[in-house]
Structure 1
Amino acid sequence: MTAVGAPTLIVGALAMKAWIALCQGDNPAAEVFLAECRAVARELPDGPSVAPVTYIEGAHAMLVRGDPAGISLLAEARDRFLAIGQGGDAHMATMLWAMAEAFFGTRTSASAARDVYVAEAEASGAEWARTWAQWCTGLVELRHGEAERALAPLRKALARQHVIGDSWGPVWGLETLAWAVAATGDCPRAARLLGAAHRMRRETGVALIGLRPFHEAHVAAERRVRASLDAEEYTAAWSQGASAEDGLRLAMSEGTFRV
């Protein structure tokens, strides 16, 4: 996030640091950077309403507090970035806004936000954006539609991320796919995917517990799977996934889940 003027540049840099900390589930670091961001923003004419601050406040509300207020903050951040011609930052706000709608919105509002994000991702020409749009499509379907219909877009997102060598997107894609498979009732396969997702998080240093909507969805899926399998079955399936050298290969194999 960039802007003109030293304080504004510092605000943008601190907001980016807070964002990275949030993505890693490192809430203590995110809180420090967010507090510093707010303090520096007070030196600006628009104060705490500047786009980077609004963006990170919205991301923090969604990811840390699990607060639906993040929806309006992220939508506002998107509008502010667009108003000052920062299309790349506006796109990130759109992605987070669509994600917040998927977790906390209604089927109508979540579908509308997804459609905006998908259109922006396609127009951007950036393959990474298209993969996240596919992921968001799957998440909206999982939370507001039919779990079976979420599988195809989630799988496509993982496949495209594999092709472009994305090591970050699959951390969330594999986890979300596990939720979807669990929701279809295919609990042995879901347990394997939960194990594979756990390994991928360990390898990338992501702490899921720091990301409230993701953590709560994970807990719900794990509870569903454990209720369906006995303890030995769950442990065996989870361990198989956790020991897989290539979690993406496990997720993409026809034997892992049905489309």
Structure 2
Amino acid sequence: MADPILKQKDGDITTITLNRPEDGNKQSDDTWAQCTEMLNTAAKESRAIVFRGAGADFCLGRAAMGQAGPVLEAYQVRERADIIFNLYGAFRNSKVPIIGVVQGRASGLGCALAALCDITLASDKARFSFPEMAHKIMPTIAFSALVDRMPRKAATFMIYSTQEIDAHKALSFGLVSNVVAAGELQGSVTTLVDHFKKGPMAAILAAKEYARQAFDMSVPAATDYARSLHATVNSYSGMRG
């Protein structure tokens, strides 16, 4: 049986691939916890991480958890939800950029992960949706992934309408970074990764750190932070190596 998630290293670029194409790359909670560990490890040993799905789709969310059992108490529900919140944290807290590659459908948790990537490249065949409300699921787990990634009106439209949107609409919503023809997607990934291979590691780390912090700051604070990083990193001898 194939591993549900694959990890491959090309020098200091790590690719993590969701590998259940027969089921839209849905993963069990145990496997999502494993994915969190993979991301945390990759962030310590890479200059960039490529995150993608095998087959026709990026990811259709969480795998079914079997037959319904007794109703869980609030604390148990919270423990189960923390598996996903910890996964979100691995994306948000990664010290290196994460590049998402979306070739087909990204639904529910899969759409949330596409949003959480620092850069998301999408095929013009890609589709994005949050169907939770249509399945009578209160969607704040998915919604929480969007609060620092998408404008409010775009996020609330997707959550409440449950509509599937195309890649160009996702681009206008700020959900993805760029849309290319399906046949050009891998070439676009390769070109982008090559930029990371050539860039000074100190600059890559500093730019990611700035992106993590600055958007929650006031403009004066973000300016002061930029001034400090600029002076510190650009005077570092490793930038001239």
TM-score by length of 1: 0.29
TM-score by length of 2: 0.30
Instruction: Give the structure with the larger helix fraction.
Output: 1
Instruction: Give the structure with the larger strand fraction.
Output: 2
